[in-house]
Amino acid sequence: MNNMLLITSSWKDGKTFKMIPTTKDCPFVECIYDQQVQVLAVIGSSKKDTFHMLTKLDANGDPETRKTPGRTGNPFKEERRSVETFQEYYVEDLNEIREFIKMFATNADKFDYESYLVALPTEPNTAE
């Protein structure tokens, strides 16, 4: 099953690790670890149809503007569309993340992924 490679990558404001497929039969497109929320996001190779709100475009391909902004302040018209997306999984338990890495990463014994599994320090609250 070892058909992914651990690599160093960037996510949000810092460094993290990713897993990328090394064979065509890999069941995943990519995995990325979010150190802030301590979750491994796994993108599967199977696709599904999901509904998303997308910006409505005019005949020129430009976003159509609303007469008044929506409840969220969005100035553009939106429409609900079915979009084909890859299946996503979120592994939250650190022991399950370790097991997933050992099961799928060819370089799990050489790559220091443990250094990324440590939670980032939170900024002290200075507001009083």
Mean pLDDT confidence for 3-10: 95
User: pLDDT digits over 9-61, tens only?
Assistant: 988 888 999 999 999 999 999 999 999 899 999 999 888 888 888 899 989 99
Domain boundaries, the chain: 4-117
Length of the chain, in residues = 128
| pLDDT (tens digit per residue) in 74-106 | 899 888 988 888 899 999 999 999 999 999 999
Q: Supply the pLDDT for residue 104.
A: 96
pTM value is 0.72
